[in-house]
């Protein structure tokens, strides 16, 4: 991380986007590819779940708080994991103020053909985040990075088939799973392109191929090629998000050509950096429980210091922030990151 006079004038948006590409920046970026909404952030912004999932103006206003109240360099309005799956027919319960949306069970058997509705992108569940992204782009112009979010075919497989049906068939009927992934990746590309057209500067590609649910062999067999293809077909920087311990697959992820990996604190930060090598940018890695929810100011400062020393490009929470965390802790993280710049 090298500062020059020219860099000092960079906007938060430029700092965030340059960090995804591992270009020189005057300070580390701060932000997140997943939800940063907490109950007290909703109170402060005057916008609440579940309306913020279902109304584009409310969604944009709550996402904006990620920059205006917390100070992050990006905003990201898709707070849940369900928009495109709901548009594909999953009967989503949009939750409550203190509960994230959810949906139980699948809607297809693994051998059944998946149909992507012709009006998929026009459906309300897609239109709400698309309009929110347009609004955020208008509101923040070029000052803050607007990040969208799409799900990869592995997560969409969980949603459409149900986790058990999907996972058991990676062993019993791998050809059927591959056929399903090939269809579902079309959904990822369609929604990604629509979000880019709406103004997204970069996208979170979340695909929950976590170690408990997807072995490293399964990642290589089912997803390495697809993630590589998605990166080639989606024309903006991608931030791959996979929760849990991903130590055994970061070596594959760096081969996909994806710009940035948003990683979980279950991966020790030093090994994350070593495994990612010189080209893959890293985001997150800060524990939601120990630091973002329960950390003291001192814990937060130590964590920021550790991430800067380990050469993490975008500092922030590891995954969607627990709703009962205090948003002030993320403000402290941002302030520490700005204060410590140049001190390490």
Scanning 103-111, 210-218, 242-250, 303-311 for contacts with Zn ion by CB under 5 A, the matching segment is: 242-250
Torsion angles phi and psi, residue 92, rounded to 5: -80, 135
**26 or 317, CB closer to Zn ion?**
317
H helices then E strands: how many in the chain?
15, 8
**238 or 243, CB closer to Zn ion?**
243
How many residues in the shown chain lie near Zn ion by CB under 5 A?
2
Q: How far is the CB of 46 from Zn ion (least distance, A)?
A: 27
Give the number of residues written for the chain.
Answer: 344
Q: How far is the CB of 138 from Zn ion (least distance, A)?
A: 29
Residue in 243, 291, 292, 325 binding Zn ion, rule: CB under 5 A: 243
Contacts of 242 (CB under 8 A, 6+ apart): 206, 207, 208, 209, 210, 249, 253, 261, 262, 263, 264
**56 or 285, CB closer to Zn ion?**
285
Residues 110-139, interacting with Zn ion (CB under 5 A): none
Scanning 36-44, 72-80, 219-227, 315-323 for contacts with Zn ion by CB under 5 A, the matching segment is: 315-323
Scanning 23-31, 160-168, 271-279, 313-321 for contacts with Zn ion by CB under 5 A, the matching segment is: 313-321
Torsion angles phi and psi, residue 323, rounded to 5: -65, -25
Torsion angles phi and psi, residue 75, rounded to 5: -125, 155
Q: How far is the CB of 241 from Zn ion (least distance, A)?
A: 6
Which H or E element spans position 109?
none
87 binds Zn ion (CB under 5 A): no
End-to-end CA distance of the chain: 11
Scanning 48-56, 143-151, 194-202, 314-322 for contacts with Zn ion by CB under 5 A, the matching segment is: 314-322
Quote the DSSP letter at residue 344: -
Q: How far is the CB of 320 from Zn ion (least distance, A)?
A: 6
Scanning 192-200, 293-301, 317-325, 332-340 for contacts with Zn ion by CB under 5 A, the matching segment is: 317-325
Single out the residue of 27, 5, 3 nearest to residue 337, CA to CA: 27
Q: How far apart are CA 158 and CA 140, in angstroms?
A: 35
Contacts of 244 (CB under 8 A, 6+ apart): 210, 211, 212, 264, 266
Scanning 80-88, 229-237, 241-249, 304-312 for contacts with Zn ion by CB under 5 A, the matching segment is: 241-249
Q: How far apart are CA 249 and CA 222, in angstroms?
A: 13
Give the residue ranges of DSSP H helices in the chain.
12-20, 39-45, 51-54, 56-68, 83-87, 124-140, 153-161, 163-172, 174-198, 216-218, 224-233, 250-253, 269-276, 297-309, 328-340
100 binds Zn ion (CB under 5 A): no
Q: How far is the CB of 204 from Zn ion (least distance, A)?
A: 10
Quote the DSSP letter at residue 322: P
Q: How far is the CB of 249 from Zn ion (least distance, A)?
A: 14
**243 or 292, CB closer to Zn ion?**
243
**240 or 319, CB closer to Zn ion?**
319
319 binds Zn ion (CB under 5 A): yes
Q: How far is the CB of 167 from Zn ion (least distance, A)?
A: 18
Single out the residue of 299, 265, 301 nearest to residue 283, CA to CA: 265
Q: How far is the CB of 264 from Zn ion (least distance, A)?
A: 7
**130 or 209, CB closer to Zn ion?**
209
Scanning 84-92, 197-205, 240-248, 298-306 for contacts with Zn ion by CB under 5 A, the matching segment is: 240-248
Q: Which residues bind Zn ion (CB under 5 A)?
A: 243, 319
């Amino acid at each position: 991380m090298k500062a020059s006079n020219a860099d000092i004038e960079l906007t938060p948006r430029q700092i965030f986007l340059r960090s995804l590409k591992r270009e020189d920046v005057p300070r580390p970026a701060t932000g997140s590819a997943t939800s940063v909404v907490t109950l007290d952030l909703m109170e402060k912004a005057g916008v609440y779940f579940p309306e913020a999932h279902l109304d584009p103006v409310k969604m944009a206003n709550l996402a904006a708080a990620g920059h205006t109240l917390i100070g992050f360099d990006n905003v990201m309005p898709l707070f849940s994991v369900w928009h495109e799956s709901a548009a594909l027919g999953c009967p989503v319960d949009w939750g409550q103020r203190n509960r994230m949306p959810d949906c139980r069970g699948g809607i297809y058997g693994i051998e059944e053909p998946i149909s992507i509705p012709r009006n998929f992108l026009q459906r309300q569940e897609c239109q709400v985040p698309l309009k929110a992204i347009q609004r955020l782009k208008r509101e923040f112009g070029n000052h803050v990075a607007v990040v969208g979010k799409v799900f990869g075919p592995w997560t969409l497989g969980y949603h459409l088939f149900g986790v058990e049906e999907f996972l058991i068939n990676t062993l019993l009927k791998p050809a059927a799973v591959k056929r399903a992934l090939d269809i579902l990746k079309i959904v990822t590309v369609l929604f990604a392109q629509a979000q880019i057209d709406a103004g997204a500067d970069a996208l979170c590609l979340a695909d929950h191929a976590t170690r408990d649910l997807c072995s490293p062999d399964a990642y290589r067999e089912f997803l390495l090629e697809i993630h590589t293809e998605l990166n080639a077909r989606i024309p903006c920087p991608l931030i791959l998000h996979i929760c849990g311990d991903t130590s055994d697959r970061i070596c594959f992820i760096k081969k996909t050509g994806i710009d940035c990996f948003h990683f979980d604190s279950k991966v020790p930060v030093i090994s994350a950096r070593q495994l990612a090598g010189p080209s893959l940018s890293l985001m997150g890695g800060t524990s939601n429980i120990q630091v973002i929810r329960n950390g003291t100011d001192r814990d937060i400062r130590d964590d920021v210091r550790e991430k800067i020393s380990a050469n993490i490009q975008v500092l922030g929470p590891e995954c969607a922030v627990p709703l009962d965390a205090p948003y002030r802790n993320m403000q402290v993280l941002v302030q520490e990151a700005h204060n410590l710049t140049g001190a390490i």
